[in-house]
Amino acid sequence: MKKILVIYFLTIMSLVEAQITPQQIAQKAFKSTVLISINDKDQQPLSMGSGFVIGNNLIATNYHVIENGGGGFVKLIGSDKKYQITGIIEKSERLDLAILVVNGLIAPKLSFGDFNKVEVGELVYAIGNPSGLEGTFSQGIVSGIRTIGDEKLLQITAPISPGSSGGPVVNGNGEVIGIAVATLTNGQNLNFAIPVNYLNNLQLNGNKLPKPLSDVSTPNSSESFFESVGRNVIEEVNPVLFKWTSNQYMGYYTFSIKNNLDKAIKDVICLVIFYDETDQPIETELVVINDLVPAGLAKRTKEFGRIDADEVRSLTKSTEIRILNFEILK
């Protein structure tokens, strides 16, 4: 019995010790996150972004941070020492990823998490240098996992601003699950990160001799994955025509999903929020529309029933429907 209690106690202690606080995550990430400054071919300032250490003398970032660059440097957060970028060993314009070579940089690399285990609602942290504000650490949640054809994109509520691009997005264990890429300025908390699995695959192919930035920049490169997503996905699928109905037993509501994309969608996940006359939320409900919504058309949802619908309806002044996720069909 004593042996069982000792094992149980040690197990509990191990779990407690394994927990990582946000402060510890920030301290760990700052040691491996860099500010990136890029000059053009005339050595004039071109862009600024973020990146993080993934190996000896290797920095991961977004391709758009270094695109059309002629050179530049990186510096660790909290340090004044600058390390010249000597080249690039791998890139993907489509995925907006690049792996840079920076000689002489000694820093711990960040470990990778498994993007396939990421769940909507879990806490995440974004680390970067938004608008040049070095060492910014922000907290949010995973608000959606977008599926675009065969590729995925992580949607988070942690703020991302110019200068954050290329920085790590980590989970509650401090593991990188995404690379910050952009935010949509016409949406609230619509921030995106590229799944770390894509970077891992790119890194496996990166056993090449480094090339100067000026040799790999492609001014007329193909559209990146995020650009196609950001332009089409978020704004082009909209909930419309919300309506209450009821019978003697139960109340119902329904609405339509309008799909302005050039591809059909399905499995639309929506968050319905009911507000009172003071604009305070009084109830929320997560609903899923599994029906196919054809390209350029709309689909009326089934009736979602609530036993207390009459009460909710009587207290509701306005309703908001947020599109959280959906699948785009080929």
Q: Which of 154, 180, 184 shows the shortest CA–CA distance to 169? A: 180
- Using an 8 Å Cβ cutoff, are 328 and 265 in contact? yes
Could you give the 3-state DSSP secondary structure of residue 316?
Answer: coil
How far apart (Å, rounded) are the C-alpha atoms in residues 235 and 259? 10
Residues forming the active site: 64, 96, 165
How far apart (Å, rounded) are the C-alpha atoms in residues 46 and 180? 19
How far apart (Å, rounded) are the C-alpha atoms in residues 316 and 319? 7
How far apart (Å, rounded) are the C-alpha atoms in residues 142 and 17? 25
Q: Phi and psi of 109, rounded to 5°?
A: -85, 150
How far apart (Å, rounded) are the C-alpha atoms in residues 124 and 158? 7
How far apart (Å, rounded) are the C-alpha atoms in residues 322 and 111? 33
